Amino acid sequence: MAVQSVESSTTSVALGPATALSCRECGERFDLGPIFACAACFGPLEVAYDLPTGDPEALRRRIEAGPDNIWRYAPLLPVPADVADKPGLNPGFTKLVKADNLARELGVTGGLYVKDDSGNPTHSFKDRVVAIAVEAARAFGFTTLSCSSTGNLAGAVGAAAARAGFKSCVFIPHDLEAGKVVMAAVYGGDLVGIEGTYDDVNRFCSELIGDPLGEGWGFVNVNLRPYYGEGSKTLAYEICEQLGWRLPDQLVIPIASGSQLTKIDKGLKELIALGLVEDRPYRIFGAQAEGCSPVSRAFKDGHGVVRPVKPDTIAKSLAIGNPADGPYVLDIARRTGGAVEDVDDAEIVDAIRLLARTEGIFAETAGGVTVGVTRKLLEQGVLDPSLTTVVLNTGDGLKTLDAVTAGPSAVIRPSLEAFRAAGL
Ligand SMILES: *Cc1c(COP(=O)(O)O)cnc(C)c1O
C-alpha cells in the first residue's frame, strides 16, 4: 500500500523531543511515522516525548527568549529544533484578554479571561495544529497537504501549504458558510465540496488514504493526526505563561472532535511535570452546540461512550456528530471536576453579541458556544465565579457573518437635520 512505503522509508525521522508514537489504549509503542491507529488494538496513537526535565528556571528563560509564536515552545513539540527558520505561518501567542466588562456582566469575581485565537494567521485556532502537522509532513516526505474539514481547517491547510511549498487538496461539506469557503479556496490549492456531513467527508478521506489516488498525501487530521493534535498543547502553554506561569482554575473549551480539549489537558499536565507551573487542581469544561451535542448528552447521562448524532446547528465548525476523542473528553471532564454543557442556536447568537458588546471581540459561532456555555454554567452554579476562568474564542466572526443580523441604526441623508430626526 502506498502509505506503508512512505512509512518504511522514514523510521528515523528527527522531530525534536518526540521519541515514538504510543497507543492511548494499550500503551504499545511505534516508530514515528504517518500512522494514527494502534496495530495491536486500533486505539488512537499519540506522540511520546523525552522532555527537557531538569532546571525549570532555565527552560522558562529559554521559552521566554523565543519568538512570539508557538515556536517558543519547540522544546515541548514534535518539531525540529530549527523550525522557526522554515517558511511557515508562525501562528500563536494570541491575546489573553482580561475580560473585566464581561466578568461584571456575568458576575465573575475571580478573574475572567478570553483566549482570543481569532488573531491567528487564518483567523482560527486551526493554524496551531496545522503548523505541527506541516513539520511532520516535511519529515515524512509528503508533497500534498490534505484534510477533512468543518471549514476552518481547510483554510489553515490551504494557507500553510501555500507558504511552506506543498500542493494542497482539502475536503469540506458542500454547505459551509461563504466566508469559510472563500478562505479555503483563495490560497490556490484544490477545494472539494462533498455532498454530505463532516462525518461523511472524514470517512471519504480515510478511504482516500488507502488508495493510490492519495499517495504522497499528508492528511493533517487523519494520517498526521497524532502530530496535529499536539498543536493544541500550545494553547495550554500560552494561557499559563500569559497568566504569569500559573494554572487557571477553570477552562471552558469548545468540542468538535474533542482533540483540542484533550491536548490542552495534556499540555497542562506537562507544565506541571516539568515544574513550569505550581501543581494545583484545575477544572476543564467542554462546550457544544445543542444541535450537535453528543458529548454533552453522554456526560449528562453518565455514559462513558458517545452515541453519534446528525448535526444541525449554526456552529458548523463544531458540527462533528461522531467525535473521535469524545470518550477522552468525558474522562477529563469527570477527572478534573468539570462538566460538558451545550447551548442552542439562539443562545449562541446572544453570546456572540454579548462578547462583542462587552469586550470588542467578534467571535465566530464556536466562540458563541463557549461564552454561552460559560454563562449557562455560571447560572447553574457549576462554574465557580470566584475562581480564575479562561474562555476560549477559537475563531473570527467575519467567517460566520450570516449567524448574526446586525446593521446600521439608521440610513439618512448627510445633514444634521436628518441625523437629529433619527433620534439616536
Ligand atoms: C476545529 C475547531 C475547534 C475544535 O475542534 P476539535 O476537533 O475539538 O479539536 C474549535 N473551534 C473552532 C472554531 C474550530 O474550527
Q: Give the pLDDT confidence score for residue 281 in this predicted structure.
A: 97
Q: Are residues 147 and 188 in the same domain?
A: yes
d(CA 151, CA 103): 30
Measured in residues, the chain has a length of: 424
Is 368 close to ligand 1, i.e. is its CB under 6 Å away?
Answer: no
Nearest to 69 by CA among 195, 226, 241: 241
Q: Are residues 266 and 224 in the same domain?
A: no
Contact predicate 198/174, CB 8 Å: no
Contact predicate 89/145, CB 8 Å: no
The pick from 46, 260, 369 for probing ligand 1's pocket by mutation, whose C-beta has the most ligand atoms within 8 angstroms, reads 260
d(CA 363, CA 343): 16
Encoded amino acid at 35, one letter = I
Q: Are residues 180 and 144 in the same domain?
A: yes
Q: Give the pLDDT confidence score for residue 159 in this predicted structure.
A: 98
Q: Are residues 273 and 246 in the same domain?
A: yes
Q: Give the pLDDT confidence score for residue 47 in this predicted structure.
A: 98
Domain that holds residue 182: 126-228
Is 364 close to ligand 1, i.e. is its CB under 6 Å away?
Answer: yes
Is 256 close to ligand 1, i.e. is its CB under 6 Å away?
Answer: yes
Q: Are residues 314 and 303 in the same domain?
A: yes
Question: What is the CA(257)–ligand 1 centre distance, in A?
Answer: 7
Question: Residue 76 CA to chain centroid, in angstroms?
Answer: 18
Task: Give me the phi and psi of 168, to 5 degrees please.
Answer: -145, 150
Say if 178 falls within a structural domain. Answer: yes
Is 254 close to ligand 1, i.e. is its CB under 6 Å away?
Answer: yes
d(CA 408, CA 112): 31
Residue 377 sits at the vertex; the CA angle it makes with 235 and 326, to the nearest 5 degrees, is 55
Mean pLDDT (10-residue bins), the chain, 424 residues: 42 86 97 96 96 92 97 97 95 98 98 98 98 97 96 96 97 91 94 94 93 95 97 98 98 98 98 97 98 98 96 95 97 98 98 98 98 98 98 96 91 96 94
Q: Are residues 397 and 259 in the same domain?
A: yes
Within 189-325, residue ranges assigned H as helices are 198-209, 225-230, 233-242, 259-273, 294-301
Question: What is the CA(312)–ligand 1 centre distance, in A?
Answer: 16
DSSP labels, 17-32: TEEEEEETTT--EE-S
Q: Give the pLDDT confidence score for residue 407 in this predicted structure.
A: 87
Q: Are residues 282 and 388 in the same domain?
A: yes
d(CA 327, CA 314): 24
C-alpha cell at 177: 458558510
d(CA 305, CA 322): 11
pTM of the full structure: 0.95
Q: Are residues 44 and 178 in the same domain?
A: no
Beta strands 190-194 and 283-289 are unpaired
The pick from 126, 296, 352, 364 for probing ligand 1's pocket by mutation, whose C-beta has the most ligand atoms within 8 angstroms, reads 126
**Number of structural domains the chain divides into:** 3
d(CA 146, CA 269): 30
Q: Are residues 273 and 347 in the same domain?
A: yes
Is 259 close to ligand 1, i.e. is its CB under 6 Å away?
Answer: yes
Q: Are residues 279 and 342 in the same domain?
A: yes
Q: Are residues 240 and 210 in the same domain?
A: no
